[in-house]
Structure 1
Amino acid sequence: MNTELYDRLGIPERIREIAGYDLYSAELRASLDALSERSAKLIEAPVSLVSVMLDTSQFIIGSYGVSGWVAYAQGTPAEWAMCTHTVLAGEPYCVVDALEDPKHTDNPMVRMTGLRSYLGVPLTGFGGHTLGAHCVIDARPRVFSDADRAVLTDAAEQVMRLLDVHRT
């Protein structure tokens, strides 16, 4: 386990804020899946997801196009998730070609899934913490546009409105 990553993601107030949502609500998940599908189609990407970053793992709470073991596990280790970079930066994060990016060439997700490009925007909670990310993923290298970023930013605001309805 990467203890530096754990320390940065495992801030108690941040984890408590995540725990304050009913992330297992079927209604919430259906809405987040639909939002993910909309983002994927508008940006013309095969995969989109909404995830929260826990202290050691990414937990996918809404998705479109996610399959295989990632769908079954509903997430990945935090070290493998590109959404971790979005959360830690607290701002949009983009990877044009993971096979050419030194930060990601050795990432097991790139090797196992064929992930090549990524664009994610942060999900900021009411307490000011970055809780997760809404992103799109493609199997081909690509440069995402300002319009793509705007689609995700708008959708991330919708995600937070949906999550607020499901605070416990």
Structure 2
Amino acid sequence: MASIVVAEDDSDIASLLSTVLSNAGHAVRTAHSGQDALDMIAEAGPDLVIVDHHMPGLSGLDVAGRLRGAEATAGIPVIMLSAAAPAAARGLCDVTISKPVRPRHVLEAADALLAARLDGVPAAGTNHLVDVDRLLAVSDYLTRPAHAEALDAFAERLAELTGAPMAAITLMLNDSVVVAGSHGMPRWVREAGGVPAEWSPDTVVVAEDVPVLIGDSAVDGEYATSPLFSVSGVRSYASVPLNSTEGHVVGTLCVLDEKPGTCTEDTVQILHSQRAQALVLLARAG
């Protein structure tokens, strides 16, 4: 049995997680704000912390940062729940999980982190990027007859819906992001047909099967020096995974802007709503 603190301001989600984790034999305490969570953690010294990102007062990112910054709590595994985890969360949290929450996913992640902590080794996350079956699925899309005009038109519509001037449908190989359709993207990206994997946050989206939201790359810092951001002047970015019918993460829908603050969690939700149509277009032959 492990001691777990769940910080979640939505009482229904907090109750659901508490029930699932308790039924699995864990002792669970719930907090409804970031500060309450920190007080509870200081008192209980839990084996694991699960935090929602958006909470009253201190955010989940704030909580994770304070835990990592204190010697007594730096080693506690942290899971973040968010509709679009900020890029900085990956440097502070062991696992990020997308909302809507799938209780089984949370339980599996919790058990893996707890087992790893007991064994004294870092928990290995699932990296979908190099999965052979995933790469075969991507290859299948890439070998279909081209229909770039339809994909470009879809990207233009995506830009209109989100209010971002740049949008793209991508397919992700293990070492490169292939732009299947785009609107407003820099000419050098269009001419190259994509960018190296290490230049783009899409690598994280596909590798971890989570959305990524960057409100301002100059503040976030992680991708500020990447050519996609530094050369093109991109400041705001949002991307969601495209999951094939077989469950493979084959690519992304993403939007970008040179202005900070354009991309928000509302942007991420719009991208989520367009995923099914994007996959239909990618799968269409000729």
Q: Shorter-chain-normalised TM-score: which range?
A: 0.7 to 0.9
CA 1:138 to 1:90, structure 2 compared with 1: closer, same or farther past 3 Å? same
Q: Deviation at 1:34?
A: 0.9
Matched, 1:32 2:151: yes
Greater displacement, 82-91 / 17-26: 17-26
1:19 partner amino acid: S
Aligned to 2:132: 12
Q: Determine the structure 1 residue equivalent to 2:268.
A: 149
Check 1:119–1:91 CA distance in 2 against 1; reply closer, same or farther (3 A cut): same
Q: Is the 8 A contact 2:215 2:262 kept in 1?
A: yes
Identity of aligned residues (%): 32
Matched, 1:161 2:280: yes
Residue 143 of structure 1, CA deviation: 5.2
Shift of 1:66: 1.3
Partner of 2:229: 110
**Structure number with larger C-alpha Rg:** 2
User: In the TM superposition, what whole-angstrom CA distance separates every residue of 1:32-86 from its partner, at most 9, and x where no partner exists?
Assistant: 1111100101211110000011010000000000132111001000000121121
Correspondence 1:41 to 2:41: no
Equivalent residue for 1:21? 141
The aligned amino acid for 2:188 is W
Offset of residue 102 of structure 1: 2.9
Q: TM-score, length-normalised on structure 2? A: 0.52
Give the Cα–Cα distance (whole angstroms) in 1 for the partners of residues 223 and 181 of structure 2: 24
Tell me the matched-pair count: 160
**Does residue 1:71 correspond to 2:177, yes or no?**
no
2:136 alignment partner AA: R
Higher relative contact order (CA 8 A, sep 6+): 1
Deviations 1:5-50 (A, max 9, x none): xx752221111011112556333x2221111100101211110000
Tell me which amino acid in the other structure corresponds to 1:25.
P
Q: Is the 8 A contact 2:164 2:256 kept in 1?
A: yes
Contact 2:186 2:232 in 1 (8 A): no
Does structure 1 residue 52 correspond to structure 2 residue 171?
yes
- 2:225, 2:186 → 1: CA distance? 21
Unaligned 5+ residue runs, structure 2?
Answer: 1-126
Partner Cα separation in structure 1 for residue 263 and residue 233 of structure 2: 18
SS at match of 2:219: coil
Query: Does 2:208 match 1:89?
Result: yes
Distance 2:226 2:186 in 1: 18
Quickly say closer, same or farther: Cα 1:126–1:11, change in 2 above 3 A. Answer: same
Q: CA deviation at 1:118?
A: 0.4
Residue of structure 2 equivalent to 1:121: 240
What is the Cα-based RMSD across aligned positions, in Å? 2.0
Letter paired with 2:276: E
> 1 CA distance for matches of 2:143 and 2:161?
25
Local SS of the residue matching 2:245: coil
- Tell whether 2:256 aligns with 1:137: yes
Q: Secondary structure at the match of 2:177?
A: strand
CA apart distance, 1:146:
4.2
8 A contact 2:128–2:249 mirrored in 1: no
Write the distance in 1 (CA, Å) between the matches of 2:259 and 2:182: 19
CA contact 2:213–2:264 (8 Å) conserved in 1: no
